[in-house]
Chains A and B, each alone.
Chain A
Amino acid sequence: MTQYIVRRLLLMPLTLIGVTLLIFGMLSFLSPAERVSLYVRDIPKNDIVMNSLIERYGLNDPFLVQYYHWLVGQKDASTGEWAGGILRGNFGYSRSANQNIVDLIKRRFPATVELALYSIVPLIGVGTWLGIVAAKNHNNIIDQIARIFGILGYSFPSFVFGLLMLMFFYAKYQIFPPDRLSNWANLVVTGEGFTSYTSLVTIDALLNGRFDIFLDALRHLVLPILTLSYINWALYLRIMRSSMLESMNQDYVVTARAKGVKEKDVVNKHARPNAMIPIVTMSGMTIAGLLSGVTITETIFIYPGIGSAAAAASTQLDVVTILSLVLLTGFILLVANLIVDITYAFLDPRVRLS
């Protein structure tokens, strides 16, 4: 197992190089002039300015050279100093966010992490629980209601559901506002006397003894969490329901009953642990997805995470930012995958011991 984990860890950089190469490859479909014209606001575009920019950023260089410059940086022939290179921590400047990409990620990623953390239980936990309830009530009215409820959520596009939520809970009743914090709370958080220990507002608020800010942050989280959960419940419900029904039909369940195990324990101790195995695989991917920024949900609720940053960068063809974000989300995905595999092995001795 350790050997397997080490091998996976070693493969990780290679995968990331592959993904970024792919994006770089796609970029080469744009001509240097097309790429640089985004940076020149004047119309008509001035050829001299354009060409000097192309020259300066080396956009005429061969594709692999450009990739090398992005990855490792570029040495200035006269001063001998290196410029750029993400391996040196130079991610570049985000045009769409008007700040350094490192700063952008530092500010936005914690917000996304916070949303993801609070979404796990309602999304995965409740979805799975619904699946268990449906399976236990196989084919009766509760099962039907649970399934219709799930499918309804699944068929809602998240922006439609999100907007409905906003209309009702914000426009009409003003209980759950969009954004991450109210203005007053934001002033406190960014002001003197408030220490940011974790960059997760809810936790920092508690650590600073500001329960009011904690509540304010939670209020802002409710709608995105609800939206993310509802549109995903059907998936968990369906997988858990069928996985549970399948487990309940296995021979070992009959064995358990034949041993005199209580029906409650037949379900809880024998069927459910087996039925949970596919859920683990799926939740790893869901959590990775949440951590990579939920673009649409963050955008609707004006939630300042990396999802909405990625949306802004994409609409403005801000390639540098997109590349960095892809690198980040790719990394998260790979780590999540690894964790899923380890958990999987932990749950299933057949995997662990082979």
Chain B
Amino acid sequence: MVEVRDLTVSYKVKGGTLNAVDGVSLAVRKGETVTVVGESGSGKTTLGMVVLRLINPTSGQVFFKGEDITRLGEGELKRFRGRMQLIPQDPYSSMNPRLRVGEIVSEPLLGREDREKVKEALNSVGLDWAVVDRYPHELSGGQRQRALIARALVSDPEFLVLDEPTSNLDVSIQAQILNLLLDLQSSRNLTYLFITHNMAVAKYVSDRVAVMYRGRLVEIGDAKEVMSNPLHPYTKALFDAVPEGDFRAKLRELEVRDEGRQKGCRYSDRCKFVRDQCRLREPDLLKVKENHEVACILY
């Protein structure tokens, strides 16, 4: 469905460039959910934006249904707009406060007035038709996120990028939204690229999990495999940070180390298992099992 090959995105920053995404290759198959996890700043959002072709990659390719869309201009991209959609993180800033909910939800129709479509979309996310006349500030966070999902659905997309869609919501509302997203996926055969730093959410929604650290994929595989048997030290650290089990004891053991810029494995400054070879060169993703790849010299 969607594939990126050897994708790199650099930003100009003070004193040089920063590779927010650094040589990432990843394929999302039709109907599946691939979840990208990682701490903030690891390049998850940037990856999502490149896939949607909102940001131009520095190098590498983006494919949508087999077609190379890396170099398409805004005009040619029109064909793909609406077939890929985005569910954003912050339901507050993602709605223009001056527009009514009805106008917001029907935006992807590009001016084609289609009451039925809007009605059906609102219905499928469990919102009442009455919300179309309301302004965003009259809705709760959960209702807004539902409206934004409805908005994404009106253009009949096949592929959605969901950028931390529940991280600003209460757990109770998060559960509602996650269930809604899973239902919609199976009823409409949607493909998801799901971005989150919440491991419980990742576990609940993913078919496959990709772990990113400072722009690089360090581990990828079937959700069950990666989550029950994490291999990369960074993935393990992510799980150790989850409030589970004897969390206070885990915190006592938690070592806080800053990262630097060094040769070799980019995690070596923070890695508990670091050894001399790690500093020699950056490890590549290696298959350790069917459906499980990891980039670490330990494997």
| A and B interact | no
A→B interface (CB under 8 Å): none
B→A interface (CB under 8 Å): none
